Amino acid sequence: MTMLALLLALFLADNQPPTIQRVDPPHWWAYLGVDTLELLVEGNLQGASIRLEGHGVQTLWNTTAANARYRYLGLDVRNAPAQDMRVISERDGSADTTIFTLRSRDMSQHKHIGLDASDVVYLIMADRFANGDTGNDAIAAMRENMSERSAPYGRHGGDVLGIRKHLDDLDSLGVTAIWMCPLLENDQPRSSYHGYAITDHYTIDPRYGTNNDYISLVRDAHAHNMRVVMDVVYNHVGSYHRLFLSPPDSSWFNWWPEYTQTNARETSLYDPYAAPSDKKRFSRGWFDRAMPDVNGDDVHASRYLLQNSIWWIEEADVDALRVDTYTYPDQRWMSNVNTTLRRVFPGLFIFGETWVDSHASQAYYVEKFPLSPDTHLPGTTDFQVYNALRDVLTKPSGWDDGAGRLYRVLAADYLYAKPMNQVIFLDNHDLPRIRGIVAGNAAKLRMGLVMLYTLRGIPCITYGTEAAMSDTREHGTIRQDMPGGWPSDTRSVWNAAERTAEEQGCYSLIRTLGRYRRNSEPLTRGRLMQFAPEQGVYAYARYTDTTVVVVVVNADNEPRTINMRRLDDVLNGARTCYDVLRDRTITISNSERLDPVGAYMWEFTRGK
């Protein structure tokens, strides 16, 4: 823009009536437990005065942003009752008014809040799960305005209604919580299906549905006694977010002389020898060119995203948060986010994505680790257990490999204040499908699933595992469509008569494990005791004062035996048990033979 054009634009703006185009957040609640609320008022506000009229509200600050399109209104709302307030903009005798509402809280909400080891989480990428409304597949006004199921990185048409239609099916699998990759608007020109490049923090992407559709999904999930996990992103936004294209201030984002990607060296945060430049590049480098990095040191940007999380939890009755790319933002900011959210919503569970390769890194981020900052983060995605489980299924067992690695990983749980809060998994939306990793080997898949459902922590299963999905190539292909999720599909995996033998095997096993786990006190509330592996044979017990669930795996390709007397630390000589996987009562010998690549799950009454 030339200087003349710029001056002309400013002159025209100054000579138009002031207009308020948007206020974020769009509304709030009286007596929510948040004393100070900041409104981001946006519009033709150059040279205009702004004021708010309401009962019991005190304006703490009224600040024009560096970009004069925006005004920050800081409000003390602690004594303000529910009401419609007026935000008024005036300039040269002209005025514009918009209503900002403080709503009454629905005190019946948050009955399901939280997440714990009694849950089984089901991870869904909405675009690839089920298409409940074909009318929203393509939105002409959006930058990516077509749906093409054959395009690995394109939109396929799955939506919120599709998820709602299958809640009964998930309930029958023993699922108690659903975690969906972000559903907020991603109005990017390409690869917008995954949800992690948000362009409007207060709007569900119209290709998924509406805000009310999401609220209805949460309500329906709660009616099925399922909790809902919202996937949130603090580290970055999408490059077509209006607050990046025309930011209130350049300080909202981390800028470099030229594009600089994060070095992904989370170790720099606790490394006593780390170079300051490495720390800076880790936390302030961009995750991706299409994902501008948010500056958590900017008080307005950080407050904007924190208020947004509070808004969605109250608006939709969300039960838990999964925080994407948790390691990358400033950790003082993240600690404040966690502290505030858990104060406003007691019982809220938050777990961070910590895609790291060592216990030293992973434990650094979890609350109460002695040498880490006071993070106030209850749990993380447990990549240490993931890597160990994958080793068990793909490598020969040795002192440090296979079953030996899993044993050592669990032995390091002393690093966590609450290891049962760790979220464990065999794959996820970013990882190769576990069935593909084991090359379709049914025995190995069975072993992996048995361990997933019985180890300590909160198990998370990726959608489509029950449908024998096995792609290992790239993000666009591992995020497969569920057969039967689209009206044009010729068969449905939700219909038992239409499943292949492999699909039926996966479905039946997951259903057995899920239903049993839901009613098993040892698996949902019990303690863990593990026994050092020998020749690829690894055993552990989940137990209460009255009941023991013993899991034995033979990760070796040869038949092995287990000396059951080793387990008498917890069994006290009991040998008669319920064989969970075979649904029968059996008596175990002191020297029990184990099949190659075998998995066993036995329930004992202690002392019998």
Q: Which amino acid is it at 555?
A: A
- CA dist 523 to 319, 457, 537, Å? 22, 9, 21
- The Cα–Cα gap between 543 and 16 comes to 72
Annotated catalytic, 367? no
3-state helix, strand, coil in the chain (%, to 5): 30, 25, 45
By C-alpha distance, which of 492, 481, 490 is closest to 157? 481
Integer Cα distance of 577 and 579 in angstroms:
6
Q: Among positive and negative, which fits the CA dihedral 576, 580, 581, 583? A: positive
- 456 contacts 448 by C-beta, under 8 angstroms: no
Q: Tokens representing 387?
A: 């890597």
324 is catalytic: yes
Per the residue annotation, which of 353, 367, 481, 556 is the catalytic one? 353
What is the per-residue DSSP string for 562-590?
Answer: EEGGGGHHHHTT--EEEETTTTEEEE--S
Q: Which of 159, 324, 367, 556 is catalytic?
A: 324
SS3 418: coil
**Chain CA centroid to CA 178, Å:** 9
| β-pair type (19-24, 94-103) | unpaired
Q: What angle (nearest 5°) sits at the alpha carbon of residue 500, between those of residues 499 and 504?
A: 65
Give the position of tokens 């720099």: 268
As a whole number of angstroms, the distance between CA 600 and CA 21 comes to: 62
Residues 313 and 347: their CA atoms lie apart, in Å, by 12
Q: Give the relative orientation of helices 501-518 and 442-454 as an angle to the nearest 10 degrees.
A: 20
Distance CA 103, CA 250 (A): 33
Which residue type, as a one-letter code, is found at position 148?
E
Annotated active-site positions, please?
A: 324, 353
